[in-house]
Amino acid sequence: MARRLRREWLPLGLFLALALVPVLAPLGPQSFILSLMTRIVVVALAALSLDLLIGKGGLVSFGHAACLGIGAYAVGILSAEGVTDGGAHLAVAIAAAAFFALATGAVAMRTDGVHFIMITLAFGQMLYFLATALSAYGGDDGITLPGRSTVLGRDVLASDTVLYLAALGALLAAYLLLRRIAASRFGRVLEGARDNPVRMEAIGFRPFRFRLAAYLISAMIAAVAGVLLANQTGFVSPATMAWQRSGELIFIVVLGGLGSLHGAILGAIAFILAEELLSHWSEHWRIVFGPLLILAVLFARGGLAGLLTKGARP
Amino acid sequence: QDKIKVGLILTLSGPAAALGQQARAAFEMALKDLGGKLGGREVELVVADDELKPDVAVTKVKGLIDRDKVDVVVGPTFSNILGAIAKPVTDAKVFLISPNAGPSPLAGKGCSPFFFATSYQNDQVHQVSGKVAQSRGYKTLYLLAPNYQAGKDAIAGVKRDYKGQIVEESYVPLNTLDFQSELAKIAAAKPDAVFTFMPGGMGVNLIKQYKQAGLADRIPLLSSFTVDESTLPAQGDAALGMFAGSNWAPDLDNPQNKAFVAAYVAQQKAVPATYAFQAYDAALLLDGALKATGGKTDDKEALRAAFLKADFTSLRGAFKFSRNGFPVQDFYLTKVGKRPDGKLETQIVEKVFSDYVDSYLPECSIK
Amino acid sequence: MSSTLLLIQILNGLQFGVILFLIAAGLTLVFGVMDFINLAHGVQYMVGAYLTAAFAAATGSFWLGLALALPAALLIGLALELLVFRHLYERSHLDQVLATFGVIIFLGEAVRMVWGSAPIGVEMPEALSGSIEIAPGLLYPVWRLVIIAAGLGVGIGLYLTVHHTRIGMLMRAGASNAPMVSALGVDIRLLFTLVFGFGAMLAGFAGAMVAPILSVEPGMGDGILILAFVVIVIGGIGSIRGAFVAALLIGLVDTLGRFLAPMLLRLLLDPAAASQTGRALAPMLVYILMAVTLFVRPAGLFPARR
Amino acid sequence: MTALLRVEGLSKSYGALRVTDGLSLSVEPGELHAVIGPNGAGKTTLIHQISGMTPPDAGRILFAGEDVTGRSMAGRALAGLARSFQITSILPRFSALQNVALAVQARSGSSFRFLSPVDGEAALTGPARDLLARFGLAERAEMPAGALSHGEKRQLELAIALATAPKLLLLDEPLAGTSHAESARIVEILRGLTGSVAILLVEHDMEAVFALADRVSVLVYGRVIATGAPEAIRSNPEVRAAYLGEEAA
Amino acid sequence: MSAPLLEIEALEASYGPAQVLFGIGFSVGAGEVVALLGRNGMGKTTTIRSIMGLHRDCRGRIAFDGRVVLGSPPFRIGQAGIGYVPEGRQVFPTLTVEENLVATAAIRAGRDRWRLPEVYALFPRLAERRRNLGTQLSGGEQQMLAVGRALMTNPKLLILDEATEGLAPLVRAEIWAVLRRLRAEGQSILVVDKNVDILTELADRHVVIEKGRVVWTGTSAELRTSPEVKDRHLHI
Ligand SMILES: Nc1ncnc2c1ncn2[C@@H]1O[C@H](COP(=O)(O)OP(=O)(O)OP(=O)(O)O)[C@@H](O)[C@H]1O
Ligand SMILES: Nc1ncnc2c1ncn2[C@@H]1O[C@H](COP(=O)(O)OP(=O)(O)OP(=O)(O)O)[C@@H](O)[C@H]1O
Ligand SMILES: [Mg+2]
Ligand SMILES: [Mg+2]
C-alpha cells in the first residue's frame, strides 16, 4: 500500500487539488477561477484522450481538435435548433465523433508515422473548412449559445461550480477508464503494435483493428470534452478545430509526459497556467514561453510527469 | 473617489496583432490627452490579449470582470471574438464598447443595452463601394473576397446598392498567397471595376500583384479593409490610387483629427488607421458619458443614457448612436495618396452616405 | 471560357507550385533527407523575408539586402543548431516537434518585437519589375520567372547534392544511423550542423525571393509550414524529385480546382448550390489531394528508397 | 497422409531478380525440414511468403489442407503458422516476459478485453515464464527486451515464436548470434519438438542442420536444386560446390 | 617490444544503474590477432562499443596507438584507425550497396589496401547487387557489406563483432581466409565470434570474458590444451 501510494501520489495529488478548486474559488475572483479551471480540465480531458492514441498507440493524430469541434458543434447546432438537453448533446456528440472516427480512421490507419500525422491533419482540416462553410450556424464567425445545456430540463449547469464539477467528473471517469484500458489485454496489444507492428502480425494480431478501436474511444472522449468546452465558452466556432489547436493538444501530451495519462492532465495545467500567468505579465510573454518549452524538452525527459516522479520510481 | 477600471481586450499577439496594437496605442494616447482621467476619475487600465482564440477570450474577459473588477470593457478587434465575449460581458451587466468589430447579430436580433460600437456595422463599409460603383455607372463589377463569413458579408454588402452586372463573385481561400490566377481571370473578364475585401497580409499580396500584373492602371479597384494605414507601408506605391470605403480618413478636416493624426505620427512613426481612431473615440466616449454621470458607474440606466447621448467631440465630427448602440454617421470614399512627408494614407474623395443608419436596427428590440 | 485562360491558369498553377517547392526545399533537406521534424522552418522562412526587407531598406538595394540576409539566416540556423537542434537528433519526432515549436514561438515573438506587427514591404529590383510577353497577348511578370528559375535551380542543386555527392550519402547515412557513421570516422555532428545551417539558409532564401510579391508579416510562415509538409508527404518523404512533382501538383490542383470546380459543379447542381459547394470544397482541395494520395499510396507518390 | 505445408510453383521477383523461381516444397506433420543455401538464395524470402509477409507473384501455399495464399499474416499465425525473424524482431520496451506473454495472449481468447489487467492473468504469464526458463532467460524475465544482449534477443525471438503454440514453425537462422553453449540448448529444444511440431528450418550452422533434420532441401537462386536425407545432401557434389565447401567434410 | 596498439585497463561499464563490465583489461599488439570469447550476454559487445566511444557510460583507460581515446567522440577513434564491423550489421538502409561502401571510405596514413575493386573481388555477390539498397539485401549479404565497409576505411586495427553471423559456410570460410591473409600482411585484428575452433587457428591470443570480467587469457596453443577453459567458460 505504501509503495503504491508512492507511485500514485502524483495522480492522487492532482485530482485532490482539482477537487479543492470549487472550495477555494470563492476566496478569489470565483467566476474567473472557475472559468479558467474548467477550461484546463476540459483541455486535460481532450489531451488525456489523445494520450491513449499517442502514448499508447504511437498514433500521433494531428486532427484531434476536430473531435473537440464535433462535440462543440453538437451543442451549438442542437441549441440553435432549440434542443437544449445535455443528454441529447452528449449522445449526438459521441455518435458523430464515433462516425467521424470510423470513417476517417479506416483510411488513416493504412498509414503510419508522419503519414498518419498528415492524413489526420487532412481530415481535421476538411472538417474545419466544413464548419466555416456552415453559414446557417455563423460560418467562421461561429454562434453564441443561448445558454448552457440543460439536464432533465433543469438549468443546473448554469452554475459555474456545477459545470466545473461536471467537467472534473468527466475527467476522473475518463482517467480511470483509460488506465484500465491501458493495463488490459487490449492496451497491451495497442502498445505492442506501436513498437513493432510486424511482430504483432506475426504472432496473430491485426494492429488495424486495435488501432481503430483506440481511435474510436479517443474520439468519443474528445467529443465529450467538446460538449463541455462549448458550455464553458458559451460560444462555438471553427477556431476550436483549427490545426493549431490540434498541435497544442499534442504539445500538452508530450510536455506532460507521453503515455502516463496523468501526464496529459499535468501538461494541460502547466501549459494553460503558464500561458495565463505569462500573458498577464507581459504582452511579449511568448519570448519567455518559447524557451521554456525548449528547456522542458531538453531537460525533462519523460515530460513533467517523468520529472516529478523520477525519485519515486522503484 | 477611487480609480475607474477599464479593461481593454484586443488581439495583441500572433499574426493578426497589428490592428490591436494600433487600437491600444491610440486608446492610451487618448487617456494621456485626457490627463489620465475619464469623467474626472483616475483611470486604471487593464490590458488583455485574446490571442484571437474565442475560448481564451472568454476566460480573459471573465478575469477582467471578476478578478480585476473592471467597470467597463473596451474591445475586441475581431468579430468572431466579439461573438464569444459579448454575452459573458453583457450578462454580467458590464458595458462593452467595441472599437472595431460590428457584426450584424449585435446590431439586430442580438442587440444589447450594454453594447456600444464606436466603429460601424460591418456591412456599411462595403455598401460604400457598391453605392459608388452604382453612381459612377460601372456596368460590370468583379467581386473578390476570401472564403469566410466576413468575405460573404462583404459581397452581400456591395450588392445591396449595386444594380449593374456582377461578372464574377470569386472567393479565394483564407490566407491566399498568390493571386495570379485571380488576376488572370480579372484580366480576361475585363470588368469596369473590381471590388475586393482582402484584409491583412492578403490585401498586401493582392495589391502588389494587382499592380505587377499591370491591372492597376486599367481597372479601378474599390475595396474595404484592403488598403488602409496598417497595410499601406507594406503595399507601398503599388497601392496608390486604390479606392476604399470608410467612416474616417487621416485627412478628415477638423482640428481634433488633425491634432490626433499629427500626435500619432509623431509618437508611433506611422499613420493611424481607423482602428486607432475608433479606439481613441472609445476613450472620448467613455469620458463624455462619465462626465455626465459625475463619474458614477453604478446606475446602469443613467450610464446607458449618457453613452447614448454621445456627448463628446468625435474625431469624425458629429455623430449619434442608434438605440442598438451603433453610430449614425457619414461614410466616405477614400483613395490612397501621399502625405507631404512621403508616407501613404487614405484620403477622402467624396462623401457617399450622410447620417447613415445600419439596416439591422429594425430587428433590435431595445426601446 | 477561353482556352487561353485555361492555359494561363495552368501556367499559374505550375508557377505557384514552383514557389511552393522553393519554400519547401529547405524542409525537404532537413525533414525529408535528415528525418528531423523542424517546425521552425516556417519562421526561418519568415526571418529570411524580414532580414531581406531590413537589409534592403538599409542599403537601398534588393540584391545587397539578399546578399546580407543569406549569411545572417545561415548564422541564425547555425546558432539554433548549436543551442537546440543538436540535442534532439536522437530524440523522438515528438520531442523535436515540441522543441521546434518552442523555437517558433520565440522567433515569432522576437520578430514582432523588432519589426512590429504590421506587414512591411520589400521593393522589387527595378530591372525585374516589369512584365514580358511570353506568348502573343500573354504578359507575365518577370519576377515570377526569376522565382521559377530560382526554384528549379535549388531543386536541381539539392537533388545533385543529396544523391550524387559523398556529402549527400553521409547525410542520408547519418539520418538513419548517426553513431555508426561516426564510428566509421566521419564527424557527423559537424556535417549535421552545416546541413541545418544550410537548410535555414534555403528557408531564408525562399523568404527573400517571395518578399517582393508577398507581404512580409508575422505569421507568414505558419500556413506555409503546413503546406510545405503536405508537399513533402505527398511527394514521398526523402524524395526531392517527389517533392518537386508534388509541389507542382498542388499548385495545379489548387489553382485549377478553384477555377474549374464551380464550373463542373454547375453541370450537376443549380448555380447557387454549385457555387456554395464549390466554395466549401476549394480550401479542402489540397487536403483531399493529400488524403487520396496517401490512401492510394500510403508512402506518397515517390516513396524514397529507404 | 497429406503434407502439413505444401508450396507449389512459388515465384517472386524484385525487378529483374528472380528471388523465388517456381519453387515447390512440402513439410510433413512433425517433420523437421531444413532449407539451406547460399546467402541471397531466397530462403528468407521463402519464409516471408509462407508466413504472409510478402505476397508471392505466383504459386500457391497450402497449409493443413487449406489454400492460405491470400490470407493475412495474422490469419496464418492464428491458424498455427509461427515464424522467427532472421533480423531480430521483438518489442524492445516490453519486458522479456511481456514479449512472450503477448504471444500466448494471441492464441488464448479475444484481446478485445478492456477492463481487466493483463498482468494479472496467470494463464498468460505462467506459460511465458516456463518458456523463458527453458531458454535460460528466467533471470532476464523482467528486463526490457531491448536491454538484452544480442544472443539473448535471438533466444527471446525463438521463445516468442514457440509461445504461439504453432503447428508449423518457420525458423530463420535461430542459431545465428548465439554462442556455443546456447546453440546446444536450442538444438535440444528443437529436438524435443520434433514429432509434435513440424519445423521448416533455415540455418547456416551445418552441424545443427545435419543433427536435426529429417530432410534437407538446398536452395540456390530461388530454386530447389536438391532435396533428400541429410547424408545424401552432405555428399552431393553440386551442393558442396555451391554451398558447403570443405567445411562439412 | 613497442607499446601495444590497443590497450585496455580496468574498464568498467554500466547501463544506467546496472554495471556490466567490472575491470576488463587486455591489449592487442601491432600485427596481432586477438579473439574475445564468452557466452551470450557476458559483455563482449559492450567492451567493443566502449572502445569505439559508442558506449559512453564507462570508466577506466583505453589507449589506441599510444593515445588515450576513452572519452573521445567515435569519429576521432575511427579516424585514428579502427575499422569496426558492428554486431547486427547496421548497414545504412537508405544507401545503395556501393554508397554504403564509398560513403565512409578513407585512405588513412597512406594505407590503401582496400578500394572498391578489392572489396568486390572479395565479395562478388556485393558487386552483383551494387545498386540495391542496404535493406534489400539478404542477411548474409548485409554482413558482407558491413565487413567490406569497415575494410574500406583501411584501418590499422580491425574489430569484428560476430562478423560471420548468418554467413553461408563457403562465405564464412572465405572471410576466415581473408583474415588469415590480412594477418599475414600484418593487420591487427580484434575479433568476436562463436567459432572457437577456427579462432584457435587464426588468433594469436584469446581473452575469455564472463559476467564482465576477464577470466582467462592465453595463446591459442594454451587454449587448445585447456579443456577446462572451454568447458567451464565456453561450454564446449
Ligand atoms: N525488397 C527487395 N528488393 C530487392 N531485392 C530484394 C528485396 N528483398 C530481398 N531481395 C534480394 O533477394 C535475394 C534473396 O534474399 P533473401 O533474404 O531471401 O536471401 P537468403 O537466402 O535469406 O540469404 P541469407 O542466407 O543471406 O539470409 C537477395 O539477393 C536480396 O538482395
Ligand atoms: N541497452 C542496454 N541496457 C541495459 N543492459 C544492457 C543493454 N545492452 C546490453 N545490456 C546488458 O549488458 C550485458 C552485456 O551485454 P553485451 O551485449 O555486451 O554482451 P555480449 O557478450 O556481446 O553478448 P552476445 O554474445 O549475446 O552478443 C548483458 O547482460 C545485457 O543484458
Ligand atoms: Mg535470410
Ligand atoms: Mg555481442
pLDDT tens digits, residue range E49-98? 999 999 999 999 999 998 999 999 999 999 999 999 999 889 999 899 99
Pocket of ligand 2 (CB under 6 A): D 147-152, 179; E 15, 18, 20, 38, 40-46, 87
Q: How confident is the model at residue D248 (pLDDT cuts 50, 70, 90)?
A: very low
Are chains C and B in touch, 3+ Cβ pairs below 8 Å? yes
What DSSP element (H or E) covers A274? helix A262-281
Lowest mean pLDDT among A204-213, D188-197, E22-31, E78-87: D188-197
Query: Closest ligand 2 atom to the C-alpha of E212?
Result: 14
Percentage of chain A lying above the pLDDT 90 cut: 62
B46-64 pLDDT tens trace: 999 888 888 789 889 988 9
Q: Which residues contact A91 (CB under 8 A, 6 or more apart)?
A: none
| Contacting subunits of E (3+ beta carbon pairs below 8 A) | C, D
DSSP 8-class letter at A154: B
- How many domains are there within chain A? 1
pLDDT in tens, B295-313: 888 899 999 999 998 889 9
Residue whose cell numbers read 514561453:
A289
Sheet with E157-161, side-by-side order of all strands: E82-85, E157-161, E188-192, E33-37, E205-210, E213-219
Cβ–ligand 1 distance for E139 under 6 Å, the answer: yes
SS3 B52: coil
| Beta-bridge partners for D170 | D83, D200
Q: What DSSP designation does C301 have?
A: S
Q: What's the residue count for chain B? A: 367
Ranked by mean pLDDT, the top range of A8-17, A213-222, B166-175, C115-124 is A213-222
**Euclidean distance between CA atoms B257 and B279, whole angstroms:** 13
Each residue of D96-139: pLDDT tens digit? 999 999 999 998 888 888 888 888 888 999 999 999 999 989 99
Binning pLDDT at 50, 70 and 90, where does residue D204 land?
very high
The residue extents of the domains of chain E are: 1-80+194-236
Kindly state whether residue A194 falls inside one of the protein's structural domains. Answer: yes
pTM for the whole thing?
0.89
The DSSP bridge pattern shows strands C131-135 and B344-356 to be: unpaired
Question: For residue A312, is pLDDT > 50?
Answer: no
Chain E nearest-CA distance from D44, in A, is 7
Q: How far apart are CA B290 and CA B310, in angstroms?
A: 11
Local structure of B5: helix, strand or coil: strand
Q: How far is A212 from chain C (nearest CA, A)?
A: 16
Size of interface A-B (CB pairs under 8 A): 101
Q: What is the dihedral of CA C152, C154, C158, C161, to 10 degrees?
A: 110
In a domain, A35, yes or no: yes
Chains E+A touching (3+ CB pairs under 8 Å): no
Single-letter amino acid code for the residue at C272: A
Amino acid symbol at E68: V
Query: Ligand 1: does its nearest atom lie under 6 Å from the Cβ of D43?
Result: yes
Which of chain D's residues have a Cβ under 8 Å away from the Cβ of A204?
74, 77-78, 106-107, 164
Shortest Cα distance, chain B CAs vs residue A97, angstroms: 21
- Strand pairing of E67-68 and B41-49? unpaired
What pLDDT does residue D182 have? 85
> In whole angstroms, what separates CA A79 from the centre of its chain?
23
Say if strands E205-210 and E33-37 run parallel, antiparallel, or are unpaired. Answer: parallel
Domains and CATH numbers, chain C: 9-118+137-296 (1.10.3470)
Q: Which domains does chain D have, with CATH numbers?
A: 1-80+167-249 (3.40.50.300), 89-165 (no CATH)
**Which of C12, C220, C275 is closest, CB to CB, to B181?**
C12
Report yes or no: B210 and B221 within 8 Å, Cβ to Cβ. yes
A30 close contact with B: CB closer than 8 A: yes
A1 contacts A13 by C-beta, under 8 angstroms: no
Half-sphere CA count of A225, side-chain side, radius 13 A: 32
Q: Which three cell numbers stand for residue C28?
A: 525537404
The yes-or-no verdict on residue A311 having pLDDT over 50 is no
CB spacing of E86 vs C180 below 8 angstroms:
yes
By Cβ distance, the residue of C9, C13, C217 closest to B15 is C217
User: Which sign does the torsion angle of CA B212, B213, B219, B221 carry?
Assistant: negative
Provide the pLDDT for residue D156: 94
Separation between Cα atoms, residue B56 and residue B52, nearest integer Å: 8
Tens of pLDDT, residue by residue over E127-171, are 999 999 988 898 888 988 999 999 999 999 999 999 888 888 888
D66-67/D17-27 β-pairing: unpaired
- Give residue D199 CA to ligand 2 midpoint distance, Å: 29
**What count of Cα atoms within 13 Å lies in the side-chain half-sphere of residue D115?**
3
Give the DSSP letter string of B236-277. GGGGTT-EEEES--TT--SHHHHHHHHHHHHHHSS---HHHH
Q: How many beta carbons lie within 10 A of that of residue B365, not counting itself?
A: 10
Q: Is residue A225 part of a domain?
A: yes
Looking up cell 531543386 gives: C155
Q: Which residue has the higher pLDDT, B365 or D1?
A: B365
List CB contacts of B56: < 8 A, sequence separation 6 or more: B50
> Is A180 within 8 Å of chain D by CB?
yes
Nearest residue by C-alpha to atom 19 in ligand 1 = D40
DSSP D244: I
Question: Cβ contacts (< 8 Å) between A293 and chain C: which residues?
Answer: 98-99, 101-102, 105
Q: Which ligand 1 atom sits closest to the C-alpha of D222? A: 14
Cα–Cα distance, E79 to E96 (Å, whole number):
23
Q: Whose CA is nearest to atom 10 of ligand 2?
A: D147
Number of neighbours of residue A199 by Cβ within 10 angstroms: 21
DSSP state of C30: I
Beta bridge partners of E59: E12
Would the CB atoms of A196 and D115 count as touching at under 8 Å?
Answer: no
Dihedral sign from CA coordinates of A225, A231, A236, A242: negative
Domain assignment present for residue A306? The answer is no
Alpha-carbon distance of C280 to C262, in angstroms, equals 10
The listed range with the strongest mean pLDDT (C95-104, C263-272, E95-104) is E95-104
CA-based nearest distance A265→chain B, Å: 18
Annotation: CATH topology of E1-80+194-236:
Rossmann fold (3.40.50)
What are the two backbone dihedrals, phi and then psi, of residue D82, each rounded to the nearest 5 degrees? -110, 155
pLDDT band for position D72 (cuts 50, 70, 90): very high
Positive or negative torsion for Cα B327, B328, B329, B334: positive
Burial of A285 (0-12, 13-18, 19+ CB in 10 A): buried
The per-residue pLDDT for B178 is 81
Cβ within 8 Å of residue C246, ≥6 positions away: C230, C231, C232, C233, C234, C235, C236, C300, C301
Q: Which domain holds residue A35?
A: 31-242
A-chain CB neighbours of D116 within 8 Å are: 180, 184-185
Pairing mode, strands D66-67 and D58-63: antiparallel
Q: Do chain E and chain D touch with ≥3 beta carbon pairs under 8 Å?
A: yes
